[in-house]
Structure 1
Amino acid sequence: MTNKTTPLLFRALVEMSEACSSKAVRGKPTRANIRHLGSCGALAARRATLPLCPAAPVHPPSRSFINLAAPISTRRMEYTECRTLGYTPEQMFSVVANVDQYQHFVPWCKKSRIMKGRNGDVRAELEIGFPPIVERYTSEVTVVPNHQVRAVCTDGSLFSHLETIWRFAPGAKDQPDSCKVDFYVSFEFKSLLHSQVATMFFDEVVKQMVGAFESRAARLYRSQ
């Protein structure tokens, strides 16, 4: 990051804090450990290991996501979502495993490329951008063909921890061309300012993630 990044982050933080504060005057937001992002997904501060498929949604009170008066900390966040999609496990595995194509359809992914090591290990280099942050990081990718794709961040200045796991299983017996998709991501930012500002954008990224891969599968396989 350049030296100009911190002033930009601080200005963005202050502006968003003021916007949230003006809304808070009309109510008394309370803190909650879990923010639900959709009918089948939840973003949560890490308290314990979360199941890949939440049994029942919990609806916490709403609160401001940024609050300068509250203690600033970098917390590990986790998100899980499960869906049954109208594609085979092989098709969805192919979409997720082709990391070099992420730049064409994954939200906020600017660049993506695969690097293969001499020992057969696979690493993915990605560049993500959401104003005012643009960062590159490298993940080690391991796969179980047609069943799982796991990526763990191994370097980068934005994350102290980033792990994503995709799992694929056959759908219902009466729907042979369907599969159950479990998506899990866990992340923690290195910087306090990144944690406060960038988490707002990452909130949107994880909400749209499964939908982006489903749309990609539709473009590739719907005509078949």
Structure 2
Amino acid sequence: MPKHRQVAVLPYAPDQMFDLVADVKRYPEFLPWVMGARIRRRSETLIVADLLVGFRMIRERYTSRVSLDRPGRIDVTYTEGPFRYLENHWVFKAHPDGCEIEFYLDFEFRSRLLQRLIGPLFHEAVRKMVAAFEARARKLYGDPAAIRKAAPVAPHENPA
């Protein structure tokens, strides 16, 4: 399967973006193709979750371990389901304009049929997924342009 790596700078704090990505139970509310999420176990550093994903006539459930290294990194490893492997990580770094986010995804289905169906759509699907996270950040944390416009201007004194 093709690999996807993307780096973007978003105008939000690293801890905000970390919290958004770590909120796995909310994925069905905003991520395309995620139809359900069930948290099996959660601690400060680990989430074990089942996700139900669907595309056209295909429905698959898989389990993953989500390792949380707040606020800088989230690693996802596949444990059970339709994949040969799944590797995914997010890295969050402070940036003068907000947060630099590195997103990496690589997976391969066990089924050659699924591989052939999804393969040609892989990069477009990942772009839509990343755009969904960006839209969710705007919804949760506000439109950065609007926030900058609404920020109060500090009064300045006129010299006498």
Same fold (TM over 0.5): yes
Partners of 2:25 and 2:37 within 8 A in 1: yes
Matched residues in 1 for 2:121 and 2:133: separation?
A: 18
Partner of 2:107: 187
Partner of 1:134: 59
Partner of 1:170: 94
Q: What code does the residue aligned with 1:185 have?
A: L
Partners of 1:166 and 1:181 within 8 A in 2: yes
Matched residues in 2 for 1:107 and 1:202: separation?
A: 13
The correspondence of residues 7-86 of structure 1 with structure 2, limited to 5 A, is 76-86=1-11
Partners of 1:164 and 1:183 within 8 A in 2: yes
Q: Share of identical aligned residues, percent?
A: 37
Q: Structure 1 residue 144: deviation in Å?
A: 0.6
Asked if 1:125 corresponds to 2:45, the answer is no
Residue deviations 1:72-122 (CA, integer Å, cap 9, x gap): xxxx3210101000100011001000000000111110001222179x742
Question: Unaligned 5+ residue runs, structure 1?
Answer: 1-75
Which of the numbers 179, 199, 212 marks the counterpart of 2:132? 212
Q: TM-score, normalised by structure 2?
A: 0.83
Residue deviations 1:33-66 (CA, integer Å, cap 9, x gap): xxxxxxxxxxxxxxxxxxxxxxxxxxxxxxxxxx
SS at match of 2:15: helix
Q: Structure 1 residue 205: deviation in Å?
A: 1.9
Figure out how many residues of one structure are paired with residues of the other and give that number.
143
Residue deviations 1:181-223 (CA, integer Å, cap 9, x gap): 0000010111111111122343332111221111101100107
SS at match of 2:18: helix
Which of the numbers 161, 179, 184 marks the counterpart of 2:85? 161
Which of the numbers 6, 12, 19 marks the counterpart of 1:94? 19
Structure with greater helix percent: 2
Work out which structure has the larger RCO, using CA pairs closer than 8 Å and 6 or more positions apart in sequence.
Answer: 2
Partners of 1:108 and 1:205 within 8 A in 2: no
Structure with greater strand percent: 2
SS at match of 1:198: helix
Question: Unaligned 5+ residue runs, structure 2?
Answer: 148-160
Matched residues in 2 for 1:201 and 1:77: separation?
A: 10
Which of the numbers 138, 150, 173 marks the counterpart of 2:75? 150
Partners of 1:80 and 1:184 within 8 A in 2: yes
